[in-house]
């Protein structure tokens, strides 16, 4: 009997040791899994942090800056409104309404006479040539005019790549409406959006044009060392921009930082105004 009890005691100790070993192994496995999870989370966090830093650097490297002042125009000079084809008799000013009798229309550089060669509707800027005076194939049609009621027809400013890093796509939006409405078409493929706001309105996705200045490779990208003159047509405004008005233009490229420009018009709207 004593021998049997000793044997059972030995068996109990053996079972207890086995259970202890199993528990120890389980602790080791759990600790290893936890350590792996923590290490993986740390690596993931480090990678995300690195991506955030690189993204921030990329944004900064593609930021635009304005060079010089912003110019506001009540008088528009030499605006190209199309090219003749011998059949089309109707052309449109980019901005409207225009000041009555302020316009001069040119075909191939020759001034035309209102009511004799063409008619114009001041409220919409629609110009219709008479049957015998339709511009022929290849003839450039341009116009000078003033915005009605001492308003601002357009603003322009020069931009460059602020840090000289990532190129910024300045593909120009299309405004194919007849007459144009001053807003980019819904199907336009441009990447940079310009919006306007003042105390009366917020207008998104305005129509704008660009002209490359000086050095450049003639593509649509604003690259290191390049400058573009951006001209924003204000026809789309529901309340025309007049005197003593603070307004903001936001230039928002697809990649890179936005350019936010706030200016105030003076108490008298001259034909050309440097808003600095």
pLDDT at residue 255 in the model: 81
Residue 227 reports pLDDT greater than 60: yes
- Mean pLDDT, range 236-244, rounded to an integer: 97
What is the length of the chain? 276
Say what the pTM is: 0.76
**Higher-confidence residue: 51 or 179?**
179
Write the burial class of residue 21 (CB in 10 Å: 0-12 exposed, 13-18 middle, 19+ buried): exposed
Give CA separation, 175 vs 38, 128, 208, 270, in Å: 55, 20, 9, 27
User: Stretch 105-114: mean pLDDT, rounded?
Assistant: 98
Q: What pLDDT is recorded for position 188? A: 97
Cβ proximity of 67 and 158 under 8 Å: yes
Weakest mean pLDDT among 141-150, 156-165, 231-240, 260-269: 156-165
Mean pLDDT check: name the lowest of 14-18, 56-60, 166-170: 56-60
125-163 pLDDT tens trace: 999 999 999 999 999 999 999 999 999 999 999 999 876
Whole-number mean pLDDT of the chain? 86
């Amino acid at each position: 009997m004593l021998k049997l009890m000793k044997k059972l005691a030995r068996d109990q100790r053996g079972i207890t040791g086995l259970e202890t070993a199993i528990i120890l192994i389980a602790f080791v496995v759990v600790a290893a899994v936890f350590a792996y999870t923590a290490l993986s989370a740390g690596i993931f966090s480090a990678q995300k942090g690195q991506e955030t830093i690189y993204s921030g650097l990329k944004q900064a490297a593609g930021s635009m800056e304005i060079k010089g002042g912003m110019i506001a125009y009540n008088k528009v000079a030499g605006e190209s409104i199309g090219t003749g084809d011998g059949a089309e008799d109707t052309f449109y000013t980019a901005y409207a309404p225009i000041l009555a009798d302020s316009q001069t229309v040119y075909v191939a550089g020759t001034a035309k006479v209102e009511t004799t060669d063409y008619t114009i509707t001041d409220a919409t800027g629609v110009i219709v040539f008479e049957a015998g005076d339709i511009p022929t194939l290849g003839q450039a049609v341009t116009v000078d005019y003033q915005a009605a009621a001492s308003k601002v027809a357009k603003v322009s400013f020069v931009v460059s790549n602020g840090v000289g890093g990532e190129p910024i796509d300045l593909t120009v939006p299309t405004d194919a409406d007849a007459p144009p409405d001053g807003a980019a078409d819904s199907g336009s493929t441009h990447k940079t959006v310009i919006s306007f706001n003042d105390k009366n309105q917020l207008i998104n996705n305005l129509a704008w044009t660009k002209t490359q200045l000086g050095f450049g490779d003639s593509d649509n990208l604003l690259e290191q060392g390049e400058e573009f003159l951006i001209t924003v047509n204000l026809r789309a405004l529901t309340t025309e921009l007049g005197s003593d008005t603070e307004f903001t233009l936001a230039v928002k490229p697809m990649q890179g930082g936005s350019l936010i420009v706030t200016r105030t018009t003076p108490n008298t709207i001259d034909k050309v105004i440097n808003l600095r």
